[in-house]
Amino acid sequence: MVVAGVGRMSEKKTVIDVKNLTVGYGDFILMKDISFDVKQGDIFIIMGGSGCGKSSLLRVLTGLVPAQSGDVMINGQDFTQATDQERALIMQKCGILYQSGALFSSMTLAENISLPLQQYTDYSPQLIKELVSLKLALVGLNGFEDYYPSEISGGMKKRAGLARALALDPQIVYCDEPSAGLDPVSSKLLDDLLMEINQSLGTTFVVVTHELASIFAIGKDSIFLDAAIKGIGGRGNPKELLKNPPNNTVLEFLTRGEK
């Protein structure tokens, strides 16, 4: 299902193209036949109420759960039909920031961030060390190389998770509820960080969230997933969607049900 766009920028290159995708588990269908595309350099928001299938859609986009039908094209390559090896190659260009940070608890922050570098590059240990320090500095965690995840706060874990997601200079970074569990100030700082990285490195972000403050602060483009229609209830810049809501469900969501 394609919903007419509001205020979309169409001149940019498409990095993710989702065509007629159906997401679900067995007989339980969450999203049916949805299509959308993500442009290079955008911060693309996947929003919707709790239980509408945002995180499941992200799991399909990242290959953790197979699609029931349809295609996900990443830079023109068919991700859903790719072999494991092809997928691994595609995913080298993608980073993921998980809701919990998903840092490996038995490793220091430096070891966490160096893992994808060791896996996919032939860099010398010295260069990896320098890159790790740089990535940590980028997210404001300079000097925390030897800390374990259990020794830092929730907000810092998210930042360290972002540093790991950025380790291989990915073209696309997927973020699953980055603001979840953070206080408003930490949440805003993380939003600012995403925007700075987006502007300075040109990284495309696909952010799954239902935090309105984040949606309006960082979203350049978005889709609204509507559980009632099992599809996309709205598409476009979140601020534009608020001004010209395509339907009441989107308006209710974007105004916390106050209008």
Residues that bind another protein (CB under 8 A): 59, 62-64, 87-88, 91-92, 94, 96, 98-100, 102-106, 115-116, 119-120, 164
- Minimum Å distance from CB 174 to another protein? 9
User: DSSP 3-state helix, strand, coil percentages of the chain (rounded to 5)?
Assistant: 35, 25, 40
The span from the CA of 173 to the CA of 77, in Å, is 17
- Minimum Å distance from CB 188 to another protein? 24
Angle at 79 between CA 73 and CA 81, to 5 degrees: 115
- Minimum Å distance from CB 21 to another protein? 18
Residue among 50 and 200 whose Cβ is closer to another protein: 50
Residue among 96 and 250 whose Cβ is closer to another protein: 96
Residue among 105 and 126 whose Cβ is closer to another protein: 105
Compute CA 241 distance to the chain's CA centroid, rounded to the nearest angstrom. 20
Among the listed residues 227, 228, 226, 218, the one whose alpha carbon sits nearest the alpha carbon of residue 245: 226
The span from the CA of 100 to the CA of 176, in Å, is 9
CB 225, CB 46: distance < 8 Å: yes
Residue among 62 and 237 whose Cβ is closer to another protein: 62
- Minimum Å distance from CB 7 to another protein? 32
